Amino acid sequence: MIASASEDNTVRLWQPDGNCLQVIDHPGCVWDVAFLPGGDLVTACSDYAARVWTRDSSRVADQEIIKARGRPLLLMPTGHHVCTCTCWCAGAP
C-alpha cells in the first residue's frame, strides 16, 4: 500500500497498480504522511496537528488526550510514540 499527502486536504491510500483505496479528509493541507511499524498511519496537517490513524478500534484516544493535541510527543524507534514540532517564524502567516 502507498500513502500520499496532498494540498487538497486529503491523504490517499493506493494500491501499487494505482487504484485509490481510500481518501482520508483533513481540515487543512497535509504536509506529510508515514506508516508506523505496526501498520498505523501518521499524518502532519497545516492545522499543526499530527494524527495517528488505526484500524484497531480498541486504540482510540480518550477525549482528554485528543484535547491536548498541541503538546509535543516523541517517536521512538519502536514506533510507540510520535514526535512533531512547529516553527513559529516572525512575519509568517
pLDDT tens, residue by residue, 15-36: 999 999 999 999 889 888 888 8
Residue 32's DSSP bridge partners are 44
What pLDDT sits at residue 75?
44
Q: What is the pLDDT of residue 74?
A: 44
pTM of the model: 0.65
Question: Quick check: is 60 in a domain?
Answer: no
Which pLDDT belongs to residue 92? 46
Q: Which domain holds residue 50?
A: 1-54+67-93
In a domain, 62, yes or no: no
User: Does 83 have pLDDT greater than 70?
Assistant: no
Counting beta carbons within 10 angstroms of the beta carbon of residue 59, is it exposed (0 to 12), middle (13 to 18) or buried (19 or more)? exposed
Tell me if 11 sits within 8 A of 4, measured CB to CB. Answer: yes
User: What's the total number of domains in the chain?
Assistant: 1
Tell which phi-psi region holds residue 10, choosing left (phi > 0), alpha (psi between -120 and 50) or beta.
beta
